[in-house]
Structure 1
């Protein structure tokens, strides 16, 4: 089994017995003129179970309890009590009459409404004032038990799906169809994962620890990569925060201190909710296409704490692949004052389009919290401890454990998922679909104990090798493998030469993650494509194979003969220390390019091959990084969410294995993703380095240019390869994605859900006269030492939901021969 989106992709490929709830209602709310009424409050009478109508006036509501009446209300309209003669009433058409005193006063409109004399906003201000006195933040330390249930369901199960040939041999799965409790649609449950954890936290030291006590899932037992991939679909959020992060987007919370600029609020009702007098407030967005919700919440009249809240993303919100998004939270009262979250429900409908009839996959998460304890300080080092070995017992808990620790009972349909999935994984047709999904996601074809791939690197092209084919593979016995071997063999049809790379790594100690590794590579590479450590990668795909999408000819390629051995340890969580030794030989791979250097002061002798032995010590710190797996390779769960600090000290050793040069190289790298609330997301990175000693072109720091039409991380798209060469440098990159905040205000562009991209990057560097004197190549040693070289870019993202195009402009140094002043790059990806 493989991690991440393989399993999510599989659920899209798999698409009639309905388990009826006690009470189900659905329909549409209109006014006297037949116009649909959005954001109307719909609740079961004499209860707090309710919802709001959508922007098309439609609603659906179900309850496990028996109800006989439905209450429909909204300010400016007469409240209607609708009898429910049956358990299922799904075609209601409800007409609300306007109150005589409010005929011209209340309208549901986009745009600004008055904030004066609005009791809902007065209540909102009291929520802001008291929010830090509620929840676990009111205590120094806390701990609680958490039960979590993750589920996936196929949406839109109808006769066309049942008869689809893809399900031949799997028809029995449709006997397990059910009804979604939020939308009322017929769905097919296809996956469930349950877990029980004990969570500890310290608000003074800002530390948190979660111990997994038990885990159970259907069909993929003990697959921790799958579990991590499923969990990564969901984000932790706090409705009291100004922004609620869902996937990689920051939605404005209806409880935000800036919420009155994004939402309209209406005080709708007041009632007792579990012996607490509460006000009911309806909220809805002021503008279209923004990352906002609609819904309602109940707030207590003394503590001004939220008792219940639901949040539904607007259908026109600028978010890809998600047709519906719904959040629901409930809170309990502690000591008659502090409100603590007791239940959190999240649901998203993933679909290729947002059309009403489109089919998709529902992802659901239910979290239940109990057994709260506070102000119990833990021993020194408690939060630094972490599991370092795979504990099978956690994934093999018996029924007695689940009967005791489930904080919410499974319904009949959820219990049946275990039976259905266990049967499905033994069906050959299902396994064929799974294999196809695995190849599409990982790029590897699975065999028993080893994988073939990646298949995406089978064919490439460059000016030196012509068309090139590459075959590769890796060992894979399981996600907790203590060792792994990878390799590839390539052949160029123009130069008629074989190339290869092979590496191996072994986990010596799981607690400290002590790993020894080594490898060898003989290949053609593009030097100068990155500032940090770009010539010691044994298996990386080289930019030499990008000739089909290059700007102009690129013959500045090099032969690399590399041997490496490394020892790595992780003494603290996410802090890695690595010591490595390498020996490499570098020479030109093209007659139009040279790495030549002078070997004497008189510049009378020239060498064309660089032979270099090097010892490098690196330190990497990635605070907040989350991983899964306990083997020699771990999968990162929360990519693009944590900062990275990297420091490298390299020592070149002359005469060791006939090495040519003595030098010292120091490099520092810092990368920081940023979520800037409603203004989108950004990424900032900085690099700095210095080489002490006299070295030739192949060992200097070339400012990374980009002569391809594809975006390259931390490269300069308007620079050609080898345009600037340095031995001392400082560079910085800033890229920002506004997530459509500006385009959402332009009517003609609003519906396209495009996203604005801006960027700026700069580099300063210099090159010593001694290093210039070594240069016998045809590359002029030019450095941006007078003023920093800079570029800026403007772009449009989310074109057709997967394409981004950026225009890059040169800021200075226009007089460099053969320089470019403008470049276009594109990138592809599936982003929310």
Structure 2
């Protein structure tokens, strides 16, 4: 059976890629100095009604916030020298309030209207005197004009477009107190802390620890649609000794996604936000015209907006809109409400500038996204900024047809070999003093023995491996486990690193069971034909392996070792196991368009163990079959449009996107080849799709079907994925027993929906907890043809029975197997707990009708 793979692995993606940053982030989070935090409500002094969008900032700085649609505000800073807070709003007198530096305080403020009339204002926010309405609202009418012209203001409107793009992505430790920096532990790194930047964001002390720069030429053709990217320059801080550099870059770019204000939905930090000019924006946003700028050509309207429900995944801020036939965005300043259900994010802001093209329309010229991460509202944390700028924008300049053929993304051979002189000449923006030193400083840091020891310990704890130069020992969570067949089990293993060989990779382990007193072992070798890592896209590898070990029939895990200690704890009877001897050889070939094929050969000897036996009827008795041996050839085809990966040194986890993934597989068993006892054909098709539903979250859909041709015993049928552990497994049936159902033809659909707090965000208590709702439904139809059914063909293997002689393995009948669950995710920002209900086949022996399952998931 096929496994979508994206779902189980992506929950661990962030934990792996953030290995380095988790360590530094925690260190920064311990560095809590004093902080000033001020919150309150701003109201109209005359009407007593809340005032929306009031600017609140510390005197003499740009540090502040904007009140939400209900007048609520919160500002904070680690700079404890500020003593005054300003409150300003168009049409009202500015108010100055004294504050207590280094304290948390509540200040409610009343603003009085100015006496003079402001002719340049088309309409004010209404001062709260009237209930907000879309009907007869000039601001909403303006938004609808913008929505109607979205297509003509997008780059896709042009037949051809090309431009040069410069991208700078940097991560910094933020707001570390002097006390923290002066600790004995960090005295050896004093030279590193001397590189703190206090100028980029006033009131924040930033210590850059990661920087990457990319310079590319971008090309677009409308019909047939084709995008082409040529990378001319690329450089970044390297942490190759501890984490995959390419994987880190891919994941950070996924978090800090490209922002298109004209898209209905904007993906940021793995979540979707509804654009303020989405087709349905007037349903979710409140809009106000707060100013006009007649000095601009054409004149601009300042359009302020805020969520109707401040806890929804929406923006608040201002758009500056041209008053011409384009109704285009000239500038955008957006933030998110601090009450939104985002993990770790203290602040998030986006600002974009647009400039006019030759034909009078506007394109984005600069886009900047900033995010401040932390465990508390103030104090130490992580600050990230991605700046993308665009130059030499040319439209409707057709190129030769052959220019658009070939790979969509190419990198020039010398892209990573440029000198600093090249970057000084070609950067669209100069680096700050602190940024300019980060490459050299981090390289020096990694040479400090104490830092290397710290990172080795962190690698062991978070990734499970301890490095010894050219090889690594691990994973540690498999060193000890237990099960009914082996009893107490010890295992030790390891793998080579790229320091051994970039193209050749070995992995091995040995294990011993103290109950069955048998050794188990595994050895594999992988060779990459691309000259790069065996997992670096596009892959072309040959892998050979041999395994002699135990296995539970029907337990299929993604990105988790089967002898993980935590999986040793299982419900119910778990005594039907296998001893496997598996020879395997595979060749994988990926293409740049994300189509791939895999061909392989497998010789598999499976010997029943524990309570599992292989038997056939012989008149009034039964005959035991010691083992089953098969030899099979495999052909697998996979297509995953625009797929990206988080790629580590020995694993690769797909990052979900909006495109479906198709996987088809054909397996052919050959009787008589290397002692093979059966001839059969197994075909299967799997389709995975993430369906985004904007403010309602998203649904992961997995549809699968398979058919087995030939006369085979039940061990070679489709043994449906079951789960008797207490962890929630996305691609298994969590209340199905191991080896409970088998089929030779089946179809299944799994739906896993994440509401992202859409319901809980509207309930006061749950809103504070930032919990998120999840719901799943799984359906499986299947059956067995008469020639493979032991009830109708006495030559077929008898289905297993329990200690009382009751059959425990079945064929699905007309009724499908179904189970559903509802749960709460994001508990302590890490845990998901589901209440699972089995909906059919409730009378089978030893089944659970209800269950409570949990899993860990790191997410924003």
Same fold (TM over 0.5): yes
1:652-709 deviation per Cα after TM superposition (whole angstroms, max 9, x unaligned): 1111111111111111111112221111011111111111111112111122221111
Change (3 A) 1:787 1:423: same
TM-score normalised to the size of structure 2? 0.84
- Match among 274, 277, 284 for residue 255 of structure 1: 277
The partner residue of 2:152 within 110, 118, 133 is 133
> Does the CA contact (< 8 Å) of 2:169 and 2:211 recur in 1?
yes
**Which residue does the alignment assign to 1:326?**
349
1:754 equivalent in structure 2: 771
Q: Pick the aligned partner of 1:697 from 714, 727, 730.
A: 714
Map of 2:383 onto structure 1: 362
1:173 to 186, 192, 204: 192
Q: Are positions 1:516 and 2:542 aligned together? A: yes
C-alpha distance in 2 between matches for 1:117 and 1:820: 58
Distance, in Å, in 2 between the alignment partners of 1:821 and 1:110 is 56
What CA deviation, in whole Å up to 9, does each residue of 1:633-667 have, x standing for no partner?
67456346653211111111111111111111111
Stretches of structure 2 lacking an aligned partner (at least 5 in a row)? 1-14, 29-37, 78-84, 97-104, 118-123, 532-536, 802-806
Aligned pair partner of 1:348 in 364, 371, 393: 371
Q: From the superposition, tell whether residues 151 and 14 of structure 1 become closer, same or farther in structure 2 (CA, over 3 Å).
A: farther
Task: State the partner residue of 1:782.
Answer: 810
Of structures 1 and 2, the one scoring higher in RCO (CA 8 A, sep 6+) is 2
Match of 1:791 in 2: 819
Checking the alignment, whether the CA contact within 8 Å between 2:595 and 2:638 is kept in structure 1 is yes
CA 1:572–1:231 in structure 2 vs 1: closer, same or farther (change >3 Å)? closer
Deviation, 1:733, is: 0.6
Give the superposed CA RMSD.
Answer: 3.6
DSSP 3-state at the match of 2:415: helix
Measured at CA, do residues 224 and 733 of structure 1 come closer, stay the same or move farther in structure 2, by a change above 3 Å?
Answer: closer
CA contact (8 A) 2:663 2:687 kept: yes
Are 1:13 and 1:433, in contact at CA under 8 Å, matched by a contact in 2?
no
In structure 2, the residue matched to 1:770 is 787
Q: 1:743 to 1:482 in 2, by over 3 A?
A: same
Which residue does 1:822 correspond to in 2? 850
| Counterpart for residue 361 of structure 2 | 338
Contact 2:213 2:235 in 1 (8 A): yes
Provide the C-alpha distance between the structure 2 equivalents of 1:686 and 1:770, rounded to a whole number of angstroms: 27
Is the CA contact (8 Å cut-off) linking 2:586 and 2:601 kept in structure 1? Answer: yes
- Who is 2:337 aligned against? 314
Q: Could you say what secondary structure the match of 2:509 adopts?
A: strand
Deviations for 1:427-473, whole angstroms, at most 9, x for unmatched residues? 22332333333334432222211111122222222111122222121
Partner of 2:453: 432
Shift of 1:328: 0.8
Corresponding residue number in structure 2 for 1:497: 518
Is the contact between residue 799 and residue 810 of structure 2 (CA under 8 Å) also seen in structure 1? no
Match of 1:97 among 108, 112, 136: 112
Residues 506 and 187 (structure 1), Cα distance of their counterparts in 2 relative to 1, 3 Å cut: same
Conservation of the 8 A alpha-carbon contact between 2:125 and 2:289: no
Per-residue CA shift, 1:769-788, capped at 9, x if unaligned? 22223123534452223122
Instruction: Report matched runs for 1:172-321 at 5 Å.
Output: 172-179=191-198, 181=200, 184-218=203-237, 220=239, 223-271=245-293, 275-302=297-324, 303-321=326-344
User: By how many angstroms is 1:768 displaced?
Assistant: 2.2
1:32-43 matches, within 5 Å, as 39-41=53-55
| Long gaps (5+) in structure 1 | 16-25, 62-69, 83-90
CA-to-aligned-CA distance 1:280-314 (integer Å, 9 cap, x gap): 11212222321122211111110211111111111
Q: Deviations over 1:694-745 (max 9, x none)?
A: 1112111122221111112321112111221211111111110111101112
Cα gap change, 1:133/1:43 in structure 2, threshold over 3 Å: closer, same or farther? farther
Is the CA contact 1:52–1:296 (under 8 Å) kept in the aligned structure 2?
A: no
1:757 is displaced (CA, Å) by: 1.1
Instruction: Answer whether contact 1:289 1:753 (CA < 8 A) is retained.
Output: no
Which residue of the partner structure matches residue 65 of structure 1? none
CA shift, 1:246, in A, is: 0.9
1:625 to 630, 636, 643: 643
SS where residue 414 of structure 2 aligns? helix
Task: State the Cα distance separating 1:117 from its structure 2 match.
Answer: 3.5
- From 583, 600, 609, the equivalent of 1:589 is 609
Tell me what 2:25 maps to.
Answer: 12
Residues 798, 628 of structure 1: CA spacing in aligned structure 2 closer, same or farther, 3 A cutoff? closer
Q: 1:58 to 1:823 in 2, by over 3 A?
A: closer
Match of 2:82 in 1: none
- Once the two structures are overlaid, the 10-residue window that deviates more, 390-399 or 652-661, is 390-399
Whether contact under 8 Å (1:30, 1:94) holds in the other structure is yes
Equivalent-residue separation in structure 1 for 2:180 and 2:666 (angstroms): 59
Are 2:830 and 1:802 aligned? yes
Distance, in Å, in 1 between the alignment partners of 2:522 and 2:129 is 60
Distance in 1, Cα, partners of 2:695 & 2:644: 25
Query: Equivalents in 2 of 1:637, 1:582: separation in Å?
Result: 26
Q: Distance in 1 between matches of 2:500 and 2:151?
A: 42
What is the CA-CA distance between 1:171 and the residue it aligns to? 1.9
**TM-score of the superposition, structure 1-length normalised?**
0.87
Secondary structure at 2:437 match in 1: helix
Q: How many residues align?
A: 788
How far has the Cα of 1:260 moved from its partner? 2.2
| Partner secondary structure for residue 657 of structure 1 | helix
Between the aligned partners of 2:178 and 2:707, the Cα distance in structure 1 is 67
Residues 480, 125 of structure 1: CA spacing in aligned structure 2 closer, same or farther, 3 A cutoff?
A: farther
Q: 1:326: how far off?
A: 0.8
Q: Cα 1:112–1:461, aligned 2, differ >3 Å: closer, same or farther?
A: farther
Out of 106, 109, 124, the residue aligned to residue 143 of structure 2 is: 124
Aligned to 1:160: 179
Shift of 1:763: 0.8
| Equivalent position of 1:22 in the other structure | none
* Greater Cα shift, 706-715 or 471-480: 471-480
8 A Cα contact 1:41 1:50, kept in partner: yes
Is 1:616 the equivalent of 2:634?
Answer: yes
Deviates more, 1:307-316 or 1:287-296: 287-296
| 1:74 and 2:84 correspond | no
Distance 1:661 1:506 in 2: 31
Distance 1:420 1:578, change over 3 A: closer
Q: CA deviation at 1:157?
A: 2.0
Q: Is 2:133 the counterpart of 1:114?
A: yes
User: Structure 1 CA distance, aligned partners of 2:129 and 2:658?
Assistant: 34
Q: Is the 8 A contact 1:525 1:558 kept in 2?
A: yes
- Shift of the 431–729 alpha-carbon distance from structure 1 to 2, 3 Å rule, reads same
Contact 2:230 2:412 in 1 (8 A): no
Give the whole-Å Cα distance in 1 for the aligned partners of 2:302 and 2:336. 19
For the pair 1:553 / 2:573, whether they are aligned, the reply is yes
Distance, in Å, in 2 between the alignment partners of 1:810 and 1:582 is 35
Could you say if the C-alpha distance between residues 32 and 770 of structure 1 is closer, same or farther in structure 2, counting changes exceeding 3 Å? closer
How far the C-alpha of 1:585 sits from its partner, in A, is 0.8
Q: Which of 713, 727, 742 is the equivalent residue of 2:744?
A: 727
Greater Cα shift, 631-640 or 266-275: 631-640
Q: Confirm or deny: 8 A CA contact 1:234 1:247 kept in the other structure.
A: yes
